[in-house]
Amino acid sequence: MKVLSIAAHPDDLDFGCAGTTARWTAEGHEVVYCLVTDGQAGGFDNTISRDEMAQIRRAEQTKAAAVVGVEELHFLGFPDGSVESTLALRKALSRVIRLVCPDRVVSQSPVRNLDRIYASHPDHLATGEAAMAAVYPDSRNEFAFPELMNDEGLAPHAVPELWLVGGPKPDRFIDITDTVDAKVEALLCHRSQIQEPDEMPKRIREWGHTVAMAGGLKEGRLAEGFRVIDTR
């Protein structure tokens, strides 16, 4: 199985689904990352230029991806903090989908989660909306952005399923008890974004326990939750 995971910022996928990613790659599946922005609006050091921050965050994301077995990354370079679900973004995501030809796309939810407002950053919502449109109908329709096929030779590709992260009402829970250490290690690669790294292992385990309980897993297990959409 080949998975394409799409997110707005470097570190989004590590917070959202790095445990699941580590599990999938350990099982022999290939996971590819697509980052809409370089995260240049992030960090806490105002002495660093935004161009330098973008370079730092690309490097951090590349290192974090390697921790969970991801070697192929696509950075789209849209501006951090002003992502919109435009035709330009839908086309860029459709291009990556046609290049990768995934069996599954993982992306952020376009639905605001009022129980976890941090998951519903405007860039996340816009990325989720554009990713959904790219999965259906854009990437499978030869008449949507026909230049992708006519000029770039990228044939349409239909993605069978879409897994959404961070939204309300997850209905699929993946046990990450055995891969939570890899998730934490990946998150700690994002040094420019984390002010209290010593608190990260506890924080992630508490989150994982809460999600596992919501998903009906046994006591002591940890999980990540998704909303799975059949797009066939």
pLDDT, tens digit, for every residue of 123-141? 999 999 999 999 999 999 9
Averaged pLDDT, 62-80: 98
Alpha-helical regions (H) of 38-164: 50-67, 87-100, 122-135, 147-150
> Which structural domain range is residue 201 located in?
2-230
The confidence band for 108, taking pLDDT boundaries of 50, 70 and 90, is very high
The confidence band for 45, taking pLDDT boundaries of 50, 70 and 90, is confident
Handedness of CA 184, 25, 111, 219 (dihedral sign): negative
pLDDT of 9 reads 98
Percent of the chain exceeding pLDDT 90 equals 93
Which CATH number characterizes residue 25's domain?
3.40.50.10320
Q: Three-class SS of residue 98?
A: helix
Averaged pLDDT, 173-199: 96
Q: Which of 173, 164, 187, 172 has its CA nearest to residue 68?
A: 187
Total domains in the chain come to: 1
Contact 162, 132 (CB under 8 A): yes
Contact 61, 119 (CB under 8 A): no
Quick one: which H or E segment has residue 165? strand 161-165
Q: pLDDT averaged over the chain?
A: 96
Number of helices and strands in the chain (H, E): 7, 7
138/94 Cα distance (integer angstroms): 6
Q: Which of 118, 86, 126, 85 has its CA nearest to residue 203?
A: 118
In terms of residues, how long is the chain?
232
The confidence band for 197, taking pLDDT boundaries of 50, 70 and 90, is very high
Contact 208, 223 (CB under 8 A): yes
Query: Taking the model in full, what pTM does it have?
Result: 0.97
Averaged pLDDT, 13-22: 98
Looking at residue 148, its amino acid is: L
